[in-house]
Amino acid sequence: MLVSNEIYGSIMISNIFDYIEYKDYICEIITNSSRYGRGTQKDMAKFLECKTSYISQVLNGYLDFTLEQGVKLNVFFDHTEEESHYFILQIQYARAGSRELKLHFEKQMKMITDNRHVLTKRLKPQNTLNENFKHIYYSTWYYAAIHIMLTIPQYCTVDSIVTALSLPRPLIVKVLDFLVTCGLAVQDNGIYKNGISNIHLTSESPHIQRHHTNLRNQAIQSIDKNLPDDLHYSSFISLAKEDVIKIRELLIQTIEEYRKVVKNSPPEELHGICIDFFKLL
């Protein structure tokens, strides 16, 4: 069992959504990002067709980039569409001539960051099960496990799944019949394949607690097995309130990146993943 906190070595501190002031954001990535560094201001000046001294005056003084320069900097920093929109709002906020106008742009930025904190909106999942099917699917761990096992070629028959999970054959048949009935699997002459595979519960779902509990029960069993390739990390931490938002954002980014890897990864093994970050006091 590998217990590690090495993930902290790869934290991306240059997340634009952590900043209201674009100057703080740019200075941060110039100072601490491995992608940028010394010479970045010179490269920015060349890209904007201006003098390096102007870049320095903007980042360290009272001048501000124009919106037109902001659009070009979105290209320079390779911002996503959402990051680009946020960056322009940052510039508008900085250039605003009244407190009322600043509040207007600040509210728009807050709407973006608030929406990013809602995991369902970030992941944009499919969810096609009706409530009756959900009640059965999330009742115990093996429905979801067998559902995903069907994406792995060697687990396409009743016997192969029985052997892998050491569960009674009648139970496996019952689960497979259910998956076929609700469209999560297809069957042809005893060969089963995965149907719809991307299912997500919202935080308001009455099934979400059972789903989390099912997976964590399996995680506890994994801890007891103490296998060398498994990873479990648990820790009590104390931190500033403002850093809670940063940690939550980093974890959501990790989930997004892990989903990208899984999406393009050939199905060979079945794994479980649980991420917990919660307030105790």
Asked whether residue 25 is domain-assigned, the answer is yes
> Do 56 and 98 lie in a common domain?
yes
The pLDDT value recorded for residue 64 is 95
Does some domain include residue 252?
Answer: yes
14 backbone dihedrals φ, ψ, rounded to 5°: -100, 40
What is the rounded CA–CA span in Å between residue 136 and residue 250?
A: 33
At 44 the pLDDT is 93
* Statement to judge: residues 105 and 203 lie in one domain: no
> Are 89 and 191 members of one domain?
no
Query: Is the residue at 4 inside a domain?
Result: no
Provide φ and ψ at 43, rounded to 5°.
-65, -40
Residue numbers in the chain where pLDDT is lower than 50:
1-13
110 with 234, same domain?
Answer: no
How far is the C-alpha of 223 from the C-alpha of 208, rounded, in Å? 23
Residues 255, 138 share a domain = yes
Cβ atoms of residues 30 and 52 within 8 Å = no
175 and 204 share one domain? yes
Residues 155 and 257 in one domain: yes
**Of 131, 110, 145, nearest to 206 (Cα)?**
131
Q: How many helical (H) and strand (E) elements, i.e. helices and strands, does the chain have?
A: 13, 2
Residue type at 214 in one-letter notation: N
Residue 221 inside a domain? The answer is yes
Answer yes or no: do 92 and 156 share one domain: no
Q: Which DSSP category does 188 fall into?
A: E
Residues 251 and 117: beta-carbon distance below 8 Å: no
Q: Does any domain span residue 210?
A: yes
In a domain, 173, yes or no: yes
The answer to whether residue 126 is domain-embedded is: no
Q: How many domains are contained in the chain?
A: 2
Q: Are residues 259 and 144 in the same domain?
A: yes
Structural domain of residue 90, as residue ranges? 11-116
- Is residue 49 a part of any domain in this protein? yes
Terminal alpha carbon distance of the chain: 29
Residues 43 and 81 in one domain: yes
CA-only gyration radius of the chain, Å: 24
Helix (H, G, I), strand (E, B) or coil at 231: strand
In terms of Cα–Cα distance, which of 82, 87, 72 is closest to 29? Answer: 87
**What are the Cα distances from residue 266, in Å, to 73, 103, 141, 256?**
37, 48, 23, 18
Same-domain pairing of 155 and 112: no
39 and 97 co-located in one domain: yes
Listed residues 60, 90, 116: the one ending a domain: 116
